[in-house]
Amino acid sequence: MLNEIIATYAITDDLLKAIGHDEDSRRVVSDAEIITTAVCAAMFFNGNHSKACTYMKEHGLIPNMLDKSRFNRRLHGIFMLMKSKTRRNVSAQGIPSGNFKNCSNHSYLLKP
C-alpha cells in the first residue's frame, strides 16, 4: 500500500510539472498531494476521502493534511483546472470529437 501511494505521488507530481502546472507558493499541501490522496481513497478506502485524509496524516505521509471541506474544495478546483487544460490540448491537437459508432475499423469494440 505504501509503495503504491509513493509511486502515485511521484507520477502525479511529474505529470503536473510536465504540463507546466503552477501552484500558489503559500499552499501548505501541494496539488500532487491532493490528487494522490484522492487516488488513495479510490484504491484503498472505497472512495472515502475522509478516511484517506486521516490515513495520510496519521502515517506521516502528508502531515499538514487539510480538513474535509478544504480538501474537497481543492480537489474540485484541481479537477476543473485539469478539465480545462485537457479541452484546450484536445482542441489544439485537432482530435475529432464525435460519435464513433459508424467507424467500421473499430466496430468490434462497440456492443449494440
Q: Judge whether 65 lies within some domain.
A: yes
pLDDT of residue 90: 53
pLDDT of residue 89: 55
Q: Judge whether 53 lies within some domain.
A: yes
Q: Judge whether 50 lies within some domain.
A: yes
User: Tens place of pLDDT for every residue, the chain, 112 residues?
Assistant: 999 999 999 999 999 898 888 888 899 999 999 999 999 999 999 999 999 999 999 999 999 999 999 999 999 998 887 777 766 655 555 555 554 444 444 444 444 4
pLDDT of residue 100: 47
Which domain does 45 fall in, by range?
Answer: 2-106
Q: How many domains does the chain have?
A: 1
Q: Judge whether 78 lies within some domain.
A: yes
**pTM of structure:** 0.74
pLDDT tens per residue across span 57-83: 999 999 999 999 999 999 999 888 777
Q: Judge whether 47 lies within some domain.
A: yes
CA angle 47, 52, 57 (to 5 degrees): 170
Q: Residue 48 contacts by C-beta under 8 Å, 6 or more apart in sequence?
A: 41
- Helix residue spans in the chain (DSSP H): 2-18, 31-44, 49-58, 68-93
The CB density around residue 96, as the number of other CB atoms within 10 Å, is: 6
Residue type, 33: E
Decide: 74 and 66 in contact? Cβ < 8 Å. yes
